[in-house]
Amino acid sequence: MFLDNVGKLYKDLGKVGFLVVITSTLFLGAGYMFYNMLENMMKQNQLVLETYIKNAQKEETVKHQRKFMKQLNAIPSMTLLLENFAQTADVDHIVISEYHNSIENITTLVPFCKFTSTYEIMNGEWKPMRNEFQNANISNYKSIAQLVHRYYEAYDIEQLKSKDKLLYYQLAEHNAKKVVLCSLEYNNVPWGFIIIIQYSNKHIDVNSVLTLTNEINKVLIQ
């Protein structure tokens, strides 16, 4: 009897062991299939993400190239516009500057506010000054910083001395007599400014300068 019971126990253990082996094999197989499926999904998602990033970068590059070409194509029109204005309005010197940011604060990461002169027209044999306004900090020029709130300012050169000494001395070195500063804006957002200079006491018509800013927007921005 005892031997019969021992034999039956071994048989039962054999059946249980077989079921354990079968069950373990099924679980391992299912786990392997799930792992492969998950790995394939991750690879596919990675491929989709990489494709999306490449397409986005390509689209951004194309947009940048179009904007660059638009600016290049605008140069002759802008030059002609400013030359015609200088002759019609009888002004001596025109400088256009555009706002930009190039270097940021290393702690706050806030970009510095700067401007660079991009166009200059002289109606006569006057000394260029565009090199004096390259990558310049707006914070150094009180009168230019205030254009955001006042839109335009007109000065006799000596009036400018008490308002903005740095700009005064720069213009005085060129023997300027009168100056008009006017903001360049698009959709009420400033993107630059224009300086109109007279080397004599000839009048500068501010209304004509304001009209000019609209024409500049049509060529460069719109």
Query: Residue 177 sits in a domain of what CATH number?
Result: 3.30.450.40
Average pLDDT (18-45) is 68
Q: Is residue 1's pLDDT more than 80?
A: no
Residues 106 and 43 placed together within one structural domain of the fold: no
Contact at 8 Å (CB) between 129 and 111? no
Residues 57 and 132 placed together within one structural domain of the fold: no
Which residues constitute the domain of residue 201?
A: 90-220
pTM of the model: 0.71
Average pLDDT (125-135) is 91
Average pLDDT (195-219) is 93
* Residue 63 parent element (H or E): helix 2-89
Residues 125 and 184 placed together within one structural domain of the fold: yes
**23 pLDDT band (50/70/90 cuts)?**
low
Q: What is the pLDDT of residue 72?
A: 77
Instruction: Give tens-digit pLDDT for 44-89.
Output: 777 777 777 777 777 777 776 777 777 778 888 999 999 999 999 9
Q: What is the pLDDT of residue 3?
A: 47
Q: Is residue 120's pLDDT more than 60?
A: yes
Residues 105 and 215 placed together within one structural domain of the fold: yes
Residues 46 and 103 placed together within one structural domain of the fold: no
Instruction: Give tens-digit pLDDT for 91-114.
Output: 999 999 999 887 777 788 778 889
Residues 6+ apart with CB under 8 A from 179: 154, 155, 157, 160, 171, 195, 196, 197, 198, 204
Mean pLDDT computed over every residue of the chain: 83
Contact at 8 Å (CB) between 164 and 141? yes
Nearest CA-CA partner of 138 in 126, 128, 146: 146
Average pLDDT (164-177) is 95
